Structure formats: C-alpha cells, structure tokens
Chain A
Amino acid sequence: MIPHVETNQDLRAWPGDIPVEHLYTAGPAGDAALRAMKERAALLGSRCNACAVTYVPARYFCERCFARLNETVDVPARGIVKAVAVVSEDRDRKPLRKPVVLGLVALEGATGVFLHRLGVKKLDQAKVGARVEAVWKPPEERTGSVEDLLHFRVV
C-alpha cells in the first residue's frame, strides 16, 4: 500500500521547465505587412476577389478557396469599435497600475476585426460604436512590429 502524505510540505517535488525559446519567421506575406508598418505606417491587407474577402494583415493564401493571394491593398487604419475589454489585473491577479483597454476594431474595407489597444483618457470613451484611428510611433522608433501601431484613438 502506498503511504498517503497528509501535508503538502512533506511531498518531495522536482522543479523543471521545458528549456526552449522560439524564433518565428513572418513569411512572405507577413514580411510585407510588417515592412508596411515600419516604412509607411500603413496596414497592408490581402484581397481575395473570388471570396470577396480582405485579410488584414496580409496573408499568403486564402483559407476559403485555397488560392495564393498576390493582390495586396492598403487598408485605412481607421474604423469602428466592435468590442471592448478593460483589463485591470495581470495574469497572476496582480493589479495593473493603469488599466489596459483592448478593442476589436472593424477597419474600413477589411473583413473581420483588428485587435489592438484603445488609447483613451477616460474609460467611458472606450465604447462599442466609437470611431477610432491608428496612432503610430514615430518612424525612428518603428521596428516592423504590430507594436509600431501604438493604439487606436477615438476621433
């Protein structure tokens, strides 16, 4: 019979981890989209005319009709807020110094919504239906990342 341990402190445990880090390639379409952010402060999308879909950021293929997507389009970095979340604790339940406001933004001309932060002075400005536009970092601070877009501000 296996003896039953009554208190957690009496258990022998081994610490361990999975010691890997990752380096992800963006791929041909992802590279183009990231370059557009860095070099032109622009959101690049891919258009599939057959499916009448515009993917943002740009994609290499259409998951619907399985065609390679060769046509890219600049999508205006403005739109309408479709959903809001106000995050007040981190994932370990520690309170954040300042709440993070997240929004799903329906960009003009794009299919679906785009996830980013909403930059608002007062929380009640972050509302579904609000018109917003992108605020980009200055060119010298942009690295080719979704973080080149600082947040969306209400207009």
Chain B
Amino acid sequence: MRRVAIVGAGMTKFVRRAHETAKELTFEASRLALESCGMKRQDLGCVVHGTAPDAFDGFHMKGEFLLDGSGGFGKPYMRCYVGGGTGVFAPIHGFLHVASGLFDTCLVVCEEKMSSCQPHPQGAFISIFDHTTERPLGPNLLWIFALEMNRYMSVHGIKLEDIARVSVKNKGNALDHPSAQLGEKLTVEQVLQSEIMAWPVHRLMVSPTSDGAAAVILAAEGVAEKLTDKPVWIQGVGWNLDTAYWTNRDLYYPEYVEKAARMAYGMAGIREPSKEINFAEPYDPFAYKELHHMEGLLLCGKGEAPRLTADGVTARTGNLPTCPSGGLLGVGNPIAAAGMMKVCELFWQCRGEAGKRQIPGPPKRGVAQAWGDLMQVGTVLVVGSEKPKT
C-alpha cells in the first residue's frame, strides 16, 4: 500500500435549516477543500461521497443525486454509507482508493440536509428497527440511547453530573468554531435543569439536527508533498460492525469500537493509545457517547472517562483533549458531515491551523471516530504529522 496524506479540508457552516440545497452545500464544502490546497476539480483522480439515510434529504439514490456538488461529474465516483459512522468511513474509503495505487488524489465529501425531513428526522429512524419485535413499540433513537446511557451509568456508578460535564466542555469549545451551530457557555446545573427527553437523557445532552457538508482532499506520497508543505498523514484506519440484534449484547461497552480502534492502532504501530495519541475527536451525538467512545478507543480504562473529564484532562489545555472542535454537541450533527468535521479538525489541529481552538503544541497525532447504524458500527482514523513507517 502507498502512504496517503490529507492535504486540504473545508466545511460549510452547520445550521438548523440551510437555504442552500443539498447539492449546493456539498459543492461549497468541496470547493473550499479544493481551494485550501490549490487544486481544481479537474485535477482529481476520484471522488468518494458519504451521506446517511436517503430519507433525511428525501432523495433516493442520494449519492448519485449529489454527484455534481461532490465534484464527481465524469469521474470514478462512489458513495459509501454506514449510518452515523459514515463520516469517518468515507475517508477510509478514500484512503483505500489512493493507497491501492489506483488514484493519486481523492476528494472525500460528506453531506446531510436533515431539515428536509418533516416533521422531524426521528421519523426516518423508526424503520431501522426490527418490524416484528421492536417497531410495534414505536422506538426512536432517544429511547435506545437512554437505555444505553442508563446501562453505562449503572455498571460504573456514573452520575448525571459526570455526563453533563461533557456537554459543558463541548458546547463551550464550539464557541471558538466559526462553523458551529450551538456553541454556548453552560454550567453543569443548566444541563441538569434542561428538559428531560427520555430519562436519563436531558435536552442539553443531545446534539441538534443540522444541515451541512465537510470535505478533505487525500493525496498519495510524492503527490501530497507537492500540494502542501504540511501534509497530515493517515497512519491507521479501522472499522468494525457488531450484530444488528442490539439486545443480544451488553450495551455498557462498545466492543466494535475497540475492535476498529485496535485495527487502526495496529496499522499505526500504537501500543499505548493513551500515551501515544495527543488528542481525540470521539463521536459525541449524546454527551455520554463521548465517554463511552473514549473507553472503546482505549484512551482510558472502562468507567474511567468521567474522571478524566472532571479532572480537566480532556479540556483543550489538558493532556488528552477530546472534541476540541466542539463536537457534535456544539458544532452540530449533520450526520455524515459531522464525522467528517472531526476529520477536518484533526487536519487543522495537526497543522496548527485551528485558530482559537488550537491545542498547544501543535499536537503530533490525533484519532477521530464515528459510530452509528443500530449502535453497531465503529469507524476509526488515526492521523499525524509524521509519515507512517510502512
């Protein structure tokens, strides 16, 4: 396999309802990513597109529909999709396209326009559940995440305050992100006093629905160095899916995230993730998920993530900053684009270009992770300023 670097990145502002169409959002993110490394659409070897359920935007064959905005007209083009995990799955696909030697460059763009879906995108989720055993009960995502959150808290004796701290940190971090939808200075008390949507999930522990797009440009070794003097190298990729029978496993721990992480770390030569990784963008559609995923990513022991958060270790100035971008809780959650926003953040942080969000250093190595489907997929990407050995 060839070495592959990220050489450019761009994203739109994340908003509740964009005036722009899905195609236009995709175009803006793609254009910004191309401009960031001085490339033209015509220079691209191939395009990978990532987007979540067609039911959000309300177009079947959304990948094909968004071809023009993705810069894929007349090019080798591919859409990939694993629910919420798509935003990190798509750059893994882009990596494979380039690492294989088939293409020298690849634009990877992720988009979601959830506001099209009425009255609320939750309606699209009813049909992800088993039609015989679960759908008659009318489940939605808030339900099942309330169950998972409760299970996680019960096993480790975690308090609601521990969860609320993640909302405070991430929404606070998002105040420094120019594309953020919901940056806010909050206290733990304010989070705990917010409306209970499905106990123990409170309103301010949930990411919003959003419209937006984000993109990166990948290039092979030898090409990347000509496009930028600061390539950010992809050091490891991993993905893994657990059974769709989500009631047949213990939800307190995401084993599939661990398996995906071990795959990526093995490739990157990482033996002690908590020491060898400088910062992380774990997937945080709900506040508890950041903690859950830090544990799955082996950045700490099981049940230890709340302590790290309370001690400030995961703050931007701490030893292991998590979601310096502001995460999905703060920047917003246009599903596939939200995962890609995390990959963009890794790129900007490693290059020292994150502005007010910059982690001191700049950091040498970061990990981004996304999660989705029926609480069953983990997608992991490790990047850094150092070129991987193999």
Contact = CB atoms under 8 A, between A and B. Distances in A.
Chain A complexes with chain B: yes
Interface of A: 14, 16-30, 60-61, 63-66, 68
Interface stretch (B24-32, B188-196, B304-312): B24-32
A66 B34 contact: yes
A56 to B, nearest CB: 15
Interface of B: 17-21, 23-24, 27, 30-31, 34, 40-42, 55, 57-58, 67-69, 71, 73-74, 115-119, 121, 123-124, 126-127, 131-132, 135-136
B24 A66 contact: no
A7 to B, nearest CB: 20
A29 B24 CA distance: 10
Contacts of A19: 123, 126
Contacts of B127: 16-18
A21 B121 CA distance: 10
B18 A25 contact: yes
B56 to A, nearest CB: 9
Contact of A66 (B19, B30, B126, B136): B30
A66 B27 contact: yes
Contacts, number: 80
B58 A22 contact: yes
A21 B56 CA distance: 10
A61 B69 contact: yes
Contacts of A23: 115-116, 118
B126 A24 contact: no
Contacts of B18: 25
A63 B68 CA distance: 5
Contacts of B27: 60-61, 66
Among A16, A20, A27, the most chain B Cβ lie within 10 Å of the Cβ of A20
A64 B73 contact: yes
Contact of A18 (B24, B115, B123, B136): B123
A24 B24 CA distance: 13
A54 to B, nearest CB: 16
A25 B19 contact: yes
Contact of A65 (B41, B116, B117, B123): B41
B303 to A, nearest CB: 38
Contact of A14 (B42, B118, B124, B135): B135
Given A18-B126, A61-B27, A66-B34, A25 B21 contact: yes
A22 B21 contact: no
Nearest to A23: B118
A80 B14 CA distance: 43
Contacts of A30: 21
